[in-house]
Structure 1
Amino acid sequence: MPFQKYGARRRSLSALAILGAGLMAVGGTAPAAAAQDVSSQQWYLKDMQAESMWKVSKGKGVTVAVVDTGVNASISELRGQVLEGADMSHNPTGAHKDSDGHGTNIAALIAGTGASGGIQGLAPGAKILPVKDVVDARVDSSDGIVSKAIRYAADHGARVINVSQGSDAVSSQLPRTLSAVKYAIKKGSLIFAAVGNTGNKTNYVTYPAGFPGVVGVGAINREGKATKWSNSGDQVGMVAIGDEIPIHCGSNVCTSYGTSQATAITSASAALIWSKHPEWTNNQVLRVMMQTAAKPTTGDIPSSYLGYGSVRPRKVLLDGEGDPGPANTNPLLAREGATKPEPSGSASKPAGDPSQSPASDEQAAEKPAAEAKTSDDGGNTTLWVALGAGVVVVGAAVAFTVVRRRGGTMARP
């Protein structure tokens, strides 16, 4: 069974549950709309003021590596957008072969042109470098393969490396991946990795999202709240919209959700900023992204659920905000912008803490606009999972059951 079976109008289930050393795909699919209606479903582009941003930057000159299941370069919106790339998987068939569709959808969300009614990416001027490290649920990536994929991306001009997958192994069991992450960051790349979609169940730390210097991306919903399924904790660096996202499912378009999608939106945001400011380093691009993010309105920063906030590239491109600061200091490692809430009559808790009262836990953002949402999923020591699909089907047992609403509110974008 392939990694993803994306969901439908009712947010179909393409859930991937990690059970011991095995992978279980639970799901059903249903078309949300015909392909020609895709643009009307990409509501978040309007909320992010994409049309206005594209007058300033479309991501031209920036290569985004998609470390994933490969990228089908022949679909209409990706023609001319995809570089040669490489296939690092166990049974290589070529970086442009994607039997699963996950990598292709991630690439389209980043750099799709919208041609012929296809997906419109947030950074349509960027180029995609496909680096295949996963074939399907039976042939998953190992520490060695993922590390080779990340190193390849860094060595082949990828300023941004998108990793919409992860492993729940302890970090000491992934020494080569950690080494590759350090190598890529030192070489000048920015790495965005999904944090996982099991926040309402296991909520484990996933890697590479949990490695120092990597930006772990969580998902928020349309109301600006951290989704109930998005993983939380110290691994969350930023969040982006990850709910109600249209993607391809066969010949139809389905509505999906996941931290994979949120990671793609974040990677595209970085590409837009870097294209406008090509002289900046990876640290400087990340710093302005953190500075201009829509901050959590209560609790510590970084928040366990929202990190430093929701990505808002328009604040940099349209409003000229953000100070790039020192070129050689990673703002995540330096914990720049970290704050503690002002003490009140009683001890405060991080925004969205599940132990808070329902009134606080359910609080919505004033008006989030797709610029703030969170998270993705992972595997175990030898099992790497492509993250990001809905978990809801009718008349079926669902692996990722809705347990509680995860709170956390965003400032007005």
Structure 2
Amino acid sequence: MARWFAGARGRLRGGAALAVPVAGAVLWAGAAVPAGAVEDVERPWYLGALRAEDVWEVARGQGVTVAVIDSGVDASLPELRGRVLPGVDLTDGRSGAGVDATGHGTDMAALIAGSGAGGGIQGLAPEASILPVRLTESAGGVLSNGEARMAQAILAAVEGGARVINISRGGRDRGFGVPEVNAALAEAARRDVLVFASTGNEGEGGNASEFPASRPGVVGIGAVGPDAERAPFSTFGPQVALAAPGTDMPGHCEWPDASVLCVFPEGGTSSATAVASAAAALVWSAHPEWTKNQVLRALIETAQRPEGGDGRDQHTGFGMVRPDRVLLGGGAEPGEADVNPLFAEFEAVLAPPPSPSPSPSSSPSPERPPAPALAREPRPRAEPGRPWLLWGGAGAASLAVAATAVALSRRRS
């Protein structure tokens, strides 16, 4: 079994700190919560650092769908009403993509596209659409054939029209290629979809590489604080491509009670990945004609390096995403549309999907099997503890098999 995390937030909710309600918000007793944290729940530090108010005059994420592969998304929350599309439930229970027993997926969706309505979480791309792809049912749950299900989830997100896929979770990379996942990532690349995944919260522990952030085609996201330096918990290594705010992050304190928000000093790489996905949604919203390669290149070229940093390193990658630098001021050169700034070699060998020529005796066949006929619903978390026990199993060897599997089956990181 690979061990999967739901973010450093789980350590706090698991009883390592005491939540104390203060003026409609909750602060963690004994945790390093900065002065003014009550206000920071609704206006966290990174919205100011990324000049969100000014950016929203240019783009708000409209027209961009972000798939959230996670524990489901509760679309009934005030800040998410009207933001969540009918999704896909790949869990054994098939309760619906709108069911979220842990709240992790809902928090990630809110960090991306929350409107702030009703005192809820304010997302960085408040007019983006969220496509929930439910993959986990409970904290510490176990899924059989997990890698295959991740492949199904990626393909379902692609078929659902996502331009950005957010995977705020991960597990131990077992050191070998998982054919189904690799095939799904290849299909996402062909379909011009960006895939972001959290690199993990083991920076102060074993610092093991996490799957799927370690796979070619996935943009690994680390967590930083206001100084753009790596958060101590953030897993580091060559898989880190970019970083995003991941400390002092807003979230729902207890689930399923979503009425009170907390500041989580260690929001985790889960939260950082959600912010990075939202940043991509903002850029794409302003430049819908750009390819994923151009969006990614713009984020890389404008990223904020730690003081004294130059180029890419293994702690924050190219630096903290700064969509404001793309959309305000001079912007960034998008560069070549067909060359990926991170995975040029991986994408160079991708063959286009087969397109068989129709014969006189047969009707044309589609390039891929149709979208999976999976459970689709909106709506309603136990804390997503860390680590998550999630995946096992092995995969098939080709895209056709992976796509067929989709049709047949189904935090802080």
Shorter-normalised TM range: 0.7 to 0.9
What is the letter of the counterpart of residue 166 of structure 2?
N
Cα deviations across residues 85-143 of structure 1 (Å, max 9, x unaligned)? 10011222100000100000000000000001110100001000000011121234710
CA contact (8 A) 1:163 1:194 kept: yes
Q: Any conservation in 2 of the 1:111–1:126 contact (CA below 8 Å)? A: yes
Q: Which residue of structure 2 lines up, in the alignment, with residue 139 of structure 1?
A: 142
Q: How does 1:239-278 map to 2 (within 5 A)?
A: 239-250=243-254, 251-256=259-264, 257-278=267-288
Are the counterparts in 2 of residues 68 and 133 from structure 1 also a CA contact under 8 Å?
yes
Segments ≥4 residues shifted beyond 3 Å: 2-7, 25-29, 35-41, 296-300, 376-381
Q: Distance in 1 between matches of 2:74 and 2:275?
A: 19
* C-alpha contact (below 8 Å) 1:196/1:231 kept by paired residues: yes
> Given residue 162 of structure 1, which amino acid in structure 2 is its aligned partner?
N
1:194 CA displacement: 0.1
Deviations 1:43-84 (CA, angstroms, capped at 9, x unpaired): 211121100000000000000000000000000000010000
Verify the 8 A CA contact 1:5 1:27 in the aligned structure 2. no
Deviation at 1:213, TM superposition (A): 2.3
In structure 2, list runs of 5 or more residues that go unmatched. 26-37, 346-385, 394-410
Kindly report which structure 2 residues correspond to 1:51-130, keeping only aligned pairs within 5 A, or say none.
Answer: 51-130=53-132
Q: Return the offset for 1:380.
A: 7.4
Letter aligned with residue 262 of structure 2: C
SS, match of residue 127 in structure 2: coil
Q: Is the 8 A contact 2:60 2:285 kept in 1?
A: yes
For 1:161 and 1:284, the matched residues in 2 are separated by 16
Partners in 2 of 1:305 and 1:239 — Cα distance?
Answer: 8
Q: Which residue of 1 aligns with 2:376?
A: none
1:325 shift after superposition: 1.0
**Alpha carbons of 1:380 and 1:72: their partners in 2 closer, same or farther (altered >3 Å)?**
closer
C-alpha contact (below 8 Å) 1:69/1:132 kept by paired residues = yes
User: 2:298 aligned with 1:288, yes or no?
Assistant: yes
Given candidates 49, 52, 64, the residue that maps to 1:50 is 52
Distance in 2 between the 1:174 and 1:27 partners? 36
C-alpha displacement of 1:382: 2.5
Q: Is the 8 A contact 1:168 1:378 kept in 2?
A: no
TM-score calculated relative to the size of structure 2: 0.75
- The 1:320–1:379 alpha-carbon spacing in structure 2 relative to 1, beyond 3 Å, is farther
Alignment pair present for 1:166 and 2:138? no
Whole-Å separation in 2 of the counterparts to 1:5 and 1:331:
28
2:63 & 2:40 partners in 1: Cα distance?
Answer: 26
The AA in structure 2 aligned to 1:166 is G
* Structure 2 residue 173 is matched with structure 1 residue 149: no
For 1:221 and 1:284, how far apart are their aligned partners in 2? 26
The 1:41/1:308 distance shift into structure 2, 3 A limit, reads same
Which stretch shifts more, 204-213 or 57-66? Answer: 204-213
1:7-406 superposed matches below 5 A: 13-14=11-12, 27-28=16-17, 30-31=19-20, 33=22, 34=24, 40-136=42-138, 137-140=140-143, 142-172=146-176, 174-250=178-254, 251-256=259-264, 257-298=267-308, 301-334=311-344, 382=392, 387-388=411-412
The aligned amino acid for 1:130 is P
Q: What amino acid sits opposite 1:388 in the alignment?
A: R
**Aligned-pair distance for 1:28?**
4.6
Distance 1:149 1:224 in 2: 32
Partner secondary structure for residue 176 of structure 2: helix
* 3-state DSSP of counterpart to 1:67: strand
1:341 corresponds to: none
Cα 1:297–1:248 shift into 2, 3 Å: same
How many angstroms does 1:378 deviate by?
Answer: 7.7
Q: SS state of the match for residue 183, structure 2?
A: helix
Partner deviation per Cα, 1:278-301 (whole Å, 9 max, x = no partner):
000111100000011112444663
For 1:31 and 1:246, the matched residues in 2 are separated by: 15
Report the secondary structure of 2:19's partner residue.
coil
2:249 alignment partner AA: I
Q: Distance in 2 between matches of 1:380 and 1:248?
A: 23
Cα distance in structure 2, aligned partners of 1:4 and 1:297: 30
Q: Structure 1's 175 and 106: CA in aligned 2 closer, same or farther, altered over 3 A? A: same
Q: Contact (CA 8 Å) 2:290, 2:334: kept in 1 or not?
A: yes
Structure showing greater relative contact order (alpha-carbon pairs closer than 8 Å, 6 or more residues apart): 2
Q: Structure 1 unaligned runs (5+)?
A: 16-24, 336-375, 390-413
Q: Pairwise CA RMSD of aligned residues?
A: 2.5
Report the structure number with the largest CA radius of gyration: 2
Please tell me whether the aligned partners of residues 294 and 310 of structure 1 are also in contact (alpha carbons under 8 angstroms): yes
Deviation per residue, 1:12-59 (Å, 9 max, x gap): 8348xxxxxxxxx67455146425956545121112110000000000
SS of 1:30's equivalent in the other structure is strand
